[in-house]
Amino acid sequence: MEWWVSMPKLELHAHLNGSIRNSTILELGRELGEKGIIVFSDVEHVILKSDRSLPEVFKLFDLIHVLTTDHETVTRITKEVVEDFAAENVVYLELRTTPKRNDSKGMSKRSYMEAVLEGLRAVSTVEVDIFRDSEVECHANAHTLYDTKNGTQRKKIYVRLLLSIDRRETTEAAMETVKLALEMRHLGVVGIDLSGNPVIGEWQTFLPVLEFAKEQGLSITLHCGEVPNPKEIHAMLDFLPARIGHACCLGEEEWRKLKSSKIPVEICLTSNIKTETISSVDVHHFADLYNSKHPIVLCTDDTGVFSTSSSREYILASSAFGIHKREMFQLARNAIDFIFADDGVKRELEVMFDLAAGRLEF
């Protein structure tokens, strides 16, 4: 385990509210129970259950969203989630979250995101790189970060944000999210994600909004093929997103289209197996994509909901598919090409990986 933790990793598919510590969810649940807002004993087993089907996962998210409705809690969970990823030696994190409006708490989509940013600023265990204005500054930063003489490196995590559109939303609400993302670009927002219950909502609802986002230069990632829906999967691949998540239920034709498109796939092994989207790890499409050198990145999806971590996902892939440490390190490094941050950040990450390659025993 220690080796896998010490290996630098990139996390490109992590939902904020799915990555909350179990201990924090239980604490928040107890507090709301004491205030009489929920009956804690009714929800405790829902929180503690370890294997959930996909519909049960979305029920749990509805509960989590009841527990995390105020600004202070959003700030707290953001801080904790970033600290947890940094402790796992994730050096670049693209954290995604659905901006939420909650009138009873005086929360708008913007103030929700401000609470997230406050959480990034509150991180104390590691230096957080949220955004830099120019590549010049970026290279200057690289020099202060690395002590090249002895190859040591101050602990640091790059965090960029993706704003998620929930498939329950209307076109107007989705457009509000995209406009917010554009306004918050100087604060580290780099892209848009389409997620939420895959059996709800129509692709056509979101297409004009996503096209607008793309035209404006935001990078797009889509949850694609979590359930069999050939028409939608074809339409999503035709849209040419910068990445897709999951790609579990693709038929032969969609599979061919994906392979020829070279669209990078965010793979979430534990999530797919626990939700039974894929029946077992040995039949997971990771193997086919990996063997055919299709661009892929290993991700966690929801570390809290699925009780996993970045290191565990790497260990699982290595043991299930017989891939050695050096190749797993290369797999992690390859993901630098698929991040939504600028080239300056990519170069700094390459330096980080090169330093780590000299330090790690393979």
Give the integer Cα–Cα distance in Å for 101 and 204. 23
Tell me how far apart the alpha carbons of residues 311 and 305 are, in angstroms, rounded to a whole number.
16
Question: Cβ closer to ligand 5GP: 6 or 111?
Answer: 111
Between 8 and 196, CB nearer to ligand 5GP: 196
Say whether 226 is catalytic: yes
Rounded to the nearest whole angstrom, what is the least distance from the CB of residue 271 to ligand 5GP in the complex?
A: 5
Q: State in angstroms the smallest separation of the CB of 257 from ligand 5GP.
A: 20
| Inter-residue contact 105 to 23 (CB < 8 Å) | no
For residue 153, the cross-strand partners are 146
Nearer to ligand 5GP, 8 or 191 (CB): 191
Sign of CA dihedral 233, 235, 240, 241: negative
The whole-angstrom separation of Cα 79 and Cα 115 is: 10
* Closest distance of CB 61 from ligand 5GP, Å: 4
* Cβ proximity to ligand 5GP, 18 vs 188, nearer residue: 18
- Residues comprising the chain, all counted: 362
- Do 95 and 356 touch, CB atoms closer than 8 A? no
* Element holding 319 (H helix, E strand): helix 310-321
CB of 65 to ligand 5GP, least distance (A): 6
- Residue 119 vs 198, nearer CB to ligand 5GP: 198
Q: Which residues bind ligand 5GP (CB under 6 A)?
A: 15-18, 61, 97-98, 164, 166, 195-196, 198, 223, 226, 271, 301-302
The one catalytic residue in 83, 176, 226, 266 is 226
- Residue 19 tokens, joined: 């990555």
Whichever of 280 and 330 has its CB closer to ligand 5GP, that residue is 280
C-alpha closest to that of 267 among 317, 325, 337, 199: 317
- What the block records as the tokens of 204 is 């056509």
List the one residue out of 13, 20, 159 whose CA is nearest residue 86.
159
Least distance from ligand 5GP to the Cβ atom of residue 351, Å? 31
Cα distance between residue 202 and residue 206, in whole Å: 7
Give me the least distance between CB of 204 and ligand 5GP, in Å please: 18
Q: What's the half-sphere exposure (Cβ side, CA atoms, 13 Å) at 329? A: 21
Q: What are phi and psi of 141, to 5 degrees?
A: -60, -40
Active site residues: 226
